[in-house]
């Protein structure tokens, strides 16, 4: 189609509502955060103080430890989802009779709010009465204080996140697997490939576009996580489960708006330096396979 025809058929004005809402209510605050993160402010007046907020952020362990926690949380949840969801999706695209039921059941947690899931699991992990501890005590004789012990708290929240977030990854994988042409499998089985070889040599490479979406979506979701942490531990015990988003909220609640905004910018930078190169790499990998 020619350029003029394109212009006569499709008006640029159609993009304007989306673009204006996006620029005003999302992008402008992001850009202005770079300035406000270098000030002491109370919404009315802002006094410039250079990099003081950042210095404080990285020297106070109550805030600085949130960075490794955030990274661990994001990479662990994303990695677990990418691997577990793949096998569940393989299972659910096979000739199993109960797959419709299982697919709905796996999708179920996605309908429940993070707040509700967080509370439910926190009660199931209750150190003495919780369901999980009743089972564990029955087997080993002593319970585990999942959320009260600093060394298990973050991993307990990670496990809950995987439980809740697995379904979206499974759905994306299923969509990817279903769009693979059956003839690839026929050709592979004529060549004598067994079930496992078909999965590793046909399904896995051809599902790469779906897999890349999952890696990126779950990693970014993990880096931004807030409500599950807030529902289950509130960042505790101590700061053992504080992540960037919970520090941002705590500093806001304490009235340190500049510091909170600096935390917001740290998150922005962290996501940018991880997600953009990663996406570039994954796209390259996808092209190489084709």
Partner 1 sequence: METKRKRNQIIGDIVGLFFTVVIFLIPFYFMFVQSIKSKKEANRLSIAWPTELHFENYIEVVKHGNYQLVTAFKNSGLLTLFTVLGLLLTGAMAGYVIQRRKGKLMTAIQSTIMLGLMIPASILPTIRMLQSMGIYKTMFSMVMIEIALQTPFTIMLYRGFMASIPVDLEEAASIDGCSRWQIFSKIIFPLLKPIQATIIILVGVQTFNDFTNPLYFLPGAANTTVQLTLYNYKGQLANTYNLLFADIIIITVPMLILFLIFNKRIVAGMVAGAVKG
Tell me the CB-side half-sphere exposure of residue 5, using CA atoms within 13 A. 2
Of the pair 5, 151, the CB lying nearest partner 1 is at 5
Measured distance CA(264)–CA(226) in Å, rounded: 12
Nearest distance from residue 101's CB to partner 1, in Å?
Answer: 8
Nearest distance from residue 37's CB to partner 1, in Å?
Answer: 9
What's the start-to-end Cα distance of the chain, in Å?
A: 27
Nearest distance from residue 200's CB to partner 1, in Å?
Answer: 19
Q: Which residues are within 8 A (CB) of 265 and not within 5 positions of it... i.e. 6 or more apart?
A: 33, 34, 37
Of the pair 168, 240, the CB lying nearest partner 1 is at 168
Of the pair 197, 272, the CB lying nearest partner 1 is at 272
Q: Which residues are within 8 A (CB) of 78 and not within 5 positions of it... i.e. 6 or more apart?
A: 215, 218, 219, 222
253-286 in b/e form (b: 16+ CB < 10 A) is eeebbbbbbbbbbbbeebbeebeeeeeeebeeee
Nearest distance from residue 162's CB to partner 1, in Å?
Answer: 11
Nearest distance from residue 166's CB to partner 1, in Å?
Answer: 9
Of the pair 80, 171, the CB lying nearest partner 1 is at 171
Of the pair 21, 51, the CB lying nearest partner 1 is at 21
């Amino acid at each position: 189609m020619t350029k003029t025809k394109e212009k006569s058929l499709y008006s640029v004005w159609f993009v304007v509502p989306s673009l204006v809402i996006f620029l005003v209510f999302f992008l402008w605050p992001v850009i202005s955060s770079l300035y406000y993160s270098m000030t002491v402010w109370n919404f009315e007046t802002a006094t410039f103080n250079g990099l003081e907020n950042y210095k404080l952020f990285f020297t106070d362990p109550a805030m600085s430890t949130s960075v490794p926690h955030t990274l661990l949380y994001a990479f662990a949840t994303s990695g677990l989802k990418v691997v577990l969801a793949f096998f569940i999706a393989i299972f659910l695209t096979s000739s199993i009779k109960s797959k419709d039921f299982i697919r709905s059941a796996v999708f179920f947690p996605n309908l429940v709010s993070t707040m509700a899931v967080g509370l439910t699991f926190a009660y199931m992990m209750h150190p003495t009465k919780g369901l999980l501890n009743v089972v564990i005590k029955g087997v080993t004789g002593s319970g585990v204080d999942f959320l009260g012990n600093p060394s298990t708290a973050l991993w307990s929240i990670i496990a809950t996140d995987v439980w809740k977030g697995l379904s979206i990854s499974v759905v994306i994988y299923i969509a990817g697997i279903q769009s693979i042409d059956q003839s690839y499998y026929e050709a592979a089985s004529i060549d004598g490939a067994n079930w496992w070889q078909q999965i590793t040599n046909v399904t896995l490479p051809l599902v790469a576009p779906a897999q890349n979406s999952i890696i990126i979506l779950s990693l970014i979701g993990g880096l931004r996580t807030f409500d599950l942490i807030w529902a289950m531990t509130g960042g505790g015990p101590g700061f053992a489960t504080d992540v960037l988003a919970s520090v941002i909220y705590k500093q806001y609640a304490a009235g340190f708006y500049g510091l909170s905004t600096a935390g917001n910018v740290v998150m922005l930078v962290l996501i940018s330096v991880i997600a953009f190169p990663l996406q570039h790499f994954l796209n390259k990998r996808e092209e190489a396979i084709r």
